[in-house]
Amino acid sequence: MTRKPIVHGTITARFNHKCCCTPCREAGNRYTKERRAYHAARLKAGLANVIHGELMTYREYGCRCRLCKTANAVASAEYRAKKREERWSKMVEEQWSAPSRG
Ligand SMILES: [Zn+2]
Ligand SMILES: [Zn+2]
């Protein structure tokens, strides 16, 4: 097996290798920021072909129209509900998995 060495501080290391070291995280953040700025500029210039009411439009293009804001609100509510459910099921699991069973 040949493994390519990871070059840290690059977006390849950050996104392809999912590296979480500081230089890689910084590279990833910079890339995301630049990409968003680029998208936002295109949106402002009327060059972006976006669908309003999509979470991606809110996040990537930074559109804050009513439709996109609603999409974001729905998504974060769903996310919170999911987290709550996870917590609940974990609690129930812990309560019901008695160590002396079986
Ligand atoms: Zn790294
Ligand atoms: Zn929008």
CA of 20 to the centre of ligand 1 (A): 6
51: Cβ–Cβ under 8 A, 6 or more apart, which residues?
Answer: 57
Contact call for residues 68 and 54 (beta carbons, < 8 A): yes
CA of 1 to the centre of ligand 1 (A): 21
Give the closest ligand to the alpha carbon of residue 67.
2
| Burial of residue 75 (number of CB atoms within 10 Å: 0-12, 13-18, 19+) | middle
Enter the pTM of the model. 0.66
Strands, E assignment, the chain? none
pLDDT at residue 2, rounded to an integer: 67
pLDDT tens string, the chain, 102 residues long: the values are 567 788 999 999 999 999 999 999 999 999 999 999 999 999 999 999 899 999 999 999 999 999 999 999 999 999 999 999 999 999 999 888 766 655
pLDDT at residue 71, rounded to an integer: 98
Give the closest ligand to the alpha carbon of residue 27.
1
pLDDT at residue 5, rounded to an integer: 86
CA of 64 to the centre of ligand 2 (A): 6
CA of 98 to the centre of ligand 2 (A): 50
